[in-house]
Amino acid sequence: MRTQVAIIGAGPAGLLLGQLLHKHGVDNVILENRSAEYVLGRIRAGVIEQGTADLLDQVGAAARMQSEGLVHDGTEICFGGARHRIDFRALTGKVVTVYGQTEITRDLMEKRTVAGAKTIYEATDVSLYDFDGAKPRVRYRKDGKQHEIECDFIAGCDGYHGVSRQSVPAKSIQSYERVYPFGWLGILSETPPVSEELIYVRHERGFALCSMRSPTRSRYYIQCSIEDDVEQWSDDCFWDELKRRLDEEAASTIVTGPSIEKSIAPLRSFVAEPMRFGSLFLAGDAAHIVPPTGAKGLNLAASDVHYLSEALVDFYQSRSAGALDRYSARALARVWKAERFSWWMTSLLHRLPGASPFEERMQLAELEYLVSSEAASRALAENYVGLPY
Ligand code: FAD
Ligand code: DHB
């Protein structure tokens, strides 16, 4: 088989890149090692920046998000038992949309099927060849048979644990990493959200987040130990702990119910530089991870593939490699801004094991400053709603 761009991974990065390329007549094949159902079963991001929404619109995959997504003009930050509102619209003129990553993935998969573009699910043992030479190729196994795809370029959109970044010789890649000593325990429940807007909570017992997927479906998270096993957390334990961390009003009005999904996510900051190795380009979680506190992971995956699709389309339309040469620096400039914001939000709102009493008071002082200074609130809002591309 031959294609122009072989895309590894059918997460949001791979699927969006596939549609952006398809729209401009660039042929591509996606290889995904899981089944479509498995990919759709992963509950992850919920907050969509306008830039990400615009890209979905460009590929005709925004209709359901526009009708079912929830537009949020602001968010609430809770500490010391009181909530404070950050008004995105007043401070920046922009808003975010709350719409699940699962739904975005489903919408992009449907578009891809309608377009007749090829996605090979359950492609195992994916391996990359000669991306630093003249004949890049990707091999995989499917139904017990070995296959090979010849291509001009390979897009590594296969997430943090994928094969693409791991195929690059260690000496060619520089990575920067912080692993946080806690995780997020998240549950999804068929209950109305406790508040119309998201509530980010800093509490002595640990961080909590009240989010949602629809007016009848809630998504809640609490900071937990990385040693915790999800089996240890019954639904009752989860709700009790969440209530302890909320303000009185939220704790007394929250509607609880059985969880329909429950999982623990570790928190990590990670950047691999550069994001290009010959004809292999990394995008999304394959190149970088942010802790989820700033809601930036999916949005960064979208901005990477925006830059990459522009560069690839430019190459095929004008035979100019200039934009491809600039891809890594362009994407990384935005990545580091999101890394800073996500690290800062994480440090501001979590109980940091080993923090001294002074450091704990500084966290509160920083929060007080944040909600009382218009400049500080605006800085948060500008980063949260999304920096320009
Ligand atoms: P992935 O979604 O990881 O997709 C990679 C794909 O590649 C997967 O389908 C995988 O199966 C496949 N793959 C892996 N290895 C191989 C292989 N060897 N061969 C073939 N295929 C392979 N981000 C936000 O922007 N906003 C939020 O509110 C937010 N909340 C989050 C909450 C949680 C609890 C978590 C865990 C994450 C959150 N994120 C959020 C982050 C966001 O989910 C990720 O950044 C996003 O999924 C990245 O997309 P991706 O396509 O780069 O990678
Ligand atoms: C959600 C996840 C996040 O990481 C975040 O910062 C806000 C919302 C969510 O899953 O809804």
- Three-state SS letters, 332-356: HHHHHHHHHHHHHHHHHHCCCCCCC
Alpha carbon of 263 to ligand 1 centroid (Å): 15
Phi, psi of 265 (to 5 degrees): -115, 130
Q: Are strands 259-273 and 74-79 parallel, antiparallel or unpaired?
A: unpaired
What pLDDT was estimated at residue 3?
A: 98
Whether 72 is catalytic: yes
Q: Is 163 in the pocket of ligand 1 (CB under 6 A)?
A: yes
Task: Please tell me which residue in 22, 292, 307, 327 is annotated as part of the active site.
Answer: 292
pLDDT value at residue 94: 97
What are the residue ranges of helices labelled H in the chain? 12-23, 36-41, 50-58, 63-68, 88-92, 101-115, 163-166, 235-245, 248-253, 297-318, 322-349, 357-372, 374-385
pLDDT at 388: 87
Q: Taking the CA atoms of the chain, what radius of gyration do you get in angstroms?
A: 21
Question: Which stretches in the chain have pLDDT values below 50?
Answer: none
**DSSP output for 134-174:** S--EEEEEETTEEEEEE-SEEEE-S-TT-HHHHTS-GGG-E
Question: How high is the pLDDT of residue 246?
Answer: 98
Q: Which two three-digit tokens encode residue 155?
A: 């897009």
Q: Which ligand is nearest to the CA of 99?
A: 2
Q: What is the residue-wise DSSP string for 309-325?
A: HHHHHHHHHH---HHHH
The span from the CA of 254 to the CA of 222, in Å, is 15
Residue 327 has a pLDDT of 98
Are 139 and 233 in contact by the 8 Å Cβ rule? The answer is: no
- For residue range 162-210, list pLDDT tens digits in order: 999 999 999 999 999 999 999 999 999 999 999 999 999 999 999 999 9
Atom 6 of ligand 2, nearest CA residue: 295
Three-state DSSP class for 218?
Answer: strand
pLDDT at 127: 98
Provide φ and ψ at 229, rounded to 5°: -105, 140
Q: How many CB atoms lie within 10 A of CB 8?
A: 29
The reported pLDDT for the residue numbered 348 is: 97
Going by CA atoms, what residue is nearest to atom 11 of ligand 2? 46
The reply to whether ligand 1 has any atom less than 6 angstroms from the CB of 295 is yes
Ligand 2 within 6 A of CB of 295? yes
Residue 78 CB-half CA count within 13 A: 26
Per-residue pLDDT tens digits for 278-308: 999 999 999 999 999 999 999 999 999 999 9
Ligand 2 centroid to residue 308 C-alpha, Å = 26
* Contact 39 CB / ligand 1 (< 6 Å): yes
* Dihedral class, residue 122 (left if φ above 0, else alpha if ψ from -120 to 50, else beta): left
For residues 374 and 360, give the distance between their C-alpha atoms in angstroms, rounded to a whole number: 23
Q: Is 389 a catalytic residue?
A: no
The helix-helix angle for 12-23 and 297-318 (nearest 10°) equals 30
> Which pLDDT score, from 0 to 100, does residue 126 have?
98
Encoding tokens for residue 363? Answer: 């966290």
Q: What is the dihedral of CA 296, 300, 303, 308, to 10 degrees?
A: 180
**The one catalytic residue among 296, 306, 307, 350:** 296
Instruction: Determine contact, residues 126/31, Cβ cutoff 8 Å.
Output: yes
Query: Is 335 a pocket residue for ligand 1 (Cβ < 6 Å)?
Result: no
Looking at residue 329, what is its pLDDT?
A: 98
CA 304 / ligand 1 centre spacing (Å): 13
From 105, 221, 298, mutation site for ligand 2 pocket: most ligand atoms within 8 A of C-beta = 221
Closest ligand 2 atom to residue 43 Cα is: 10
Beta bridge partners of 200: 77, 209
Atom of ligand 2 nearest to the CA of 292: 4
Distance in angstroms (rounded) separating the CA atoms of residues 267 and 155: 25
Q: Which two tokens stand for residue 220?
A: 């809640």
Tokens of 119: 């996605």
Closest C-alpha to ligand 2, atom 4: 292
Residue reference for tokens 């980010």:
200
Cβ atoms 349, 304 nearer than 8 A: no
- Residue 275 near residue 287 (C-beta atoms within 8 A): yes
